[in-house]
Structure 1
Amino acid sequence: MVALVKGRYVAREAENADDVAAAQKLRQVAFHGDDGDLDQDSFDPICTHILVEDRSTGTLVCCFRFLPLAGGSEIDRSYSAQFYELSALQAFEGAMVEMGRFCVHPDYSDPDILRVAWGAMTTYVDENGVELLFGCSSFSGTEADEYLDAFAMLRDRHLAPKRWLPKVKAPNVFRFAARLRRKPDLKQAQLRMPPLLRTYLLMGGWVSDHAVVDRQMNTLHVFTGLEIAAIPPARKRLLRAIGA
């Protein structure tokens, strides 16, 4: 059971339907820009939901969900498998967790929120013997032009190992690894990289060679994988210190 208190914030697992509805409400605000409905799908009932709350006000400031899989043989059960052909990962033998629907309340920009979220993820990974964390990392909007430096950097430095590389499945994709010829401006690449993806990459994460154009969510997203054994020891210690 994830339960983490750090400074101003507390991270915990959703305990009931009201907690899940609160996460769906925050997702609606963060992803769709309004609070008139709930962002929900068929994966919510089979996932573990993590909530990060402001201790002083009780405000839900961040949420995400985990879908545990026993190994690669179950990869087709994942949300990501709707968009990516993941047959290569069927050979992965260790326990896996898909992390999805990560969002932060638009009124909050405190970097400690992301730190606490990663502390909670680390706790969950350690408690459940997870060997691969994966999901879809999203760029806001469906136009790639403003992210070309970021995509060029992903092409040059962070593509998935060939043995795990996802193939194209979605009907509308941006094949940045094959089509981009520009040399990335590294400063612009970092500025345009989504914070969650940036953190994955700092820990040794890798991405697909194409981005899916998801008009329903108004995002471009890349499949992202993080093999736990590949995380640099110093960064593991830092994450575990947050989760302690």
Structure 2
Amino acid sequence: MAVLECKNLTKQYGHVTALEDVSFSIEPGRIVGLLGPNGSGKTTLIKLANGLLTPTSGELTICNAAPGKETHAIVSYLPERTSIPLWMTATQLLDFYQDFYKDFRRDAAEEMLAHLNIPAKQRIKQMSKGTREKVQLIVTMSRAAQLYLLDEPIGGVDPATRDYILSTIIGNYNPEAAVVISTHLISDVEKVLDEVIFINQGHVVLQSSVDEIREEKGMSVDALFREVFKC
């Protein structure tokens, strides 16, 4: 059973079409890069999967269910912008997640906070932008979800921290789950991806395993991306 499946999915904002006739499926145990230029429809697709938007036509399902209360319990979502309450301390945020999500693994979250030297008693509003992003990613990845939707998870952090964050993503997700990483920092995330979906102007232009790209085209995902989307 596919973790995430789209069938002829279209989303319009008035007269503007953000996604058109998109069809693909993502199987369990896969880390998938959702890759495309700015304005290609990546964030719209992730918001549809999280139930924040509704399709204009077509359908999107998560473990055979339409996005809603049932899927919120199995989807862990990292939005592009920081959305955690700034007045909380890191400890209070963990308390909140523990109360709200049955699948929250507090021990994993505490271990990651300690590894990144993030003070548990410090208020989030006192943290730097990059540290806030780390905290938000930590709580997102500390759930034992079926689907992780990560919108630009490494956009605002330094290169050294990116490596830790990517290893965190690999080491902390349920092997029966799927991870979707939307990003434009392809060379940074390529090493953790199993497959990629290229999206451009609301259309899927490629879905392929990373191994196939390397074997059949003889190039990296980053090089293929540059070729497909060159200006």
TM-score, scaled relative to structure 1:
0.27
More relative contact order, 1 or 2 (CA 8 Å, 6+ apart): 2
Q: TM-score, normalised by structure 2?
A: 0.28
